[in-house]
Structure 1
Amino acid sequence: MSKLFGGGSKAESAASSAKTETYCDCLIRATPQKEGAQFRLAGSIEKDVDGVIRVRTFIRADLFSSEQDVIDATLRKAHQIIDQHGPSLFADDADRRQV
């Protein structure tokens, strides 16, 4: 009953807070997608560009059996995307798009 009203356990809260990270002025969100007993690598990269939050989402084919493993891999993949694309990641005028 407490979960219905926002009273989740401390373990759930700790896992939720581990899903975001700041890197190179970007906010990375790990948003794994549950597929059966596994989790698909998925996330987003957000950045404030001239007062507008721009979001770049990504989904990859990688599947993991552990939620913590997919979160760790998502954060690493986001770092790689930011490093490879550099400033061009947010250079267009699109508020949201896939990368």
Structure 2
Amino acid sequence: MFGFLKQLFSGSETVPVDNSPTVEPVHYNGYLIFVMPTEEAGQYRVAGLIEKPVEGDEDAKNLTHSFIRSDLCMSKQQAEQITLQKCKLFIDQIGDDMFK
């Protein structure tokens, strides 16, 4: 637990100023899926970001929905696969309502 608090309050990790993800998105039904599992104690937590580009206004920011699940995986590859599957299912079930 103290390791988590130390990571939370330490300033050692740099965050992009515009908070844009640094991974290549997967295009799915008009959405962009950014698969970004996080490492925790040697395991990987399912996490990511779903974006939908706003059409018609190039200056408008994309609609975004970020998430962190409780699922933990032994490998990063497995976490990436599960993240992508869950994102696609979430998009199919919820659609644009995720941005409300």
TM-score by length of 2: 0.67
Number of residue equivalences: 75
1:26 to 31, 36, 55: 31
Distance 1:66 1:45 in 2: 22
Give matches, 1:1-99, under 5 Å. 20-50=25-55, 51=57, 52-90=61-99, 92=100
Q: CA RMSD in A?
A: 1.8
Instruction: Give unmatched runs, 5+ long, in structure 1.
Output: 1-15, 93-99
Query: 1:40-62: CA deviations, max 9, x gaps?
Result: 00001011124331110111100
Distance 2:98 2:70 in 1: 21
Query: 1:46-93: CA deviations, max 9, x gaps?
Result: 111243311101111000011010001000010011011123234x4x
Aligned partner of 2:64: which letter?
A: V
Greater RCO, 1 or 2 (C-alpha within 8 Å, sep 6+): 1
Distance 2:72 2:93 in 1: 23
Query: 1:26-50: CA deviations, max 9, x gaps?
Result: 1100111100110000001011124
Instruction: Give unmatched runs, 5+ long, in structure 2.
Output: 1-21
TM-score by length of 1: 0.67
Which residue pairs with 2:18 in the alignment? none
The percent of aligned pairs where both chains have the same amino acid is: 37
Structure 1 segments (4+ residues) deviating >6 Å = none
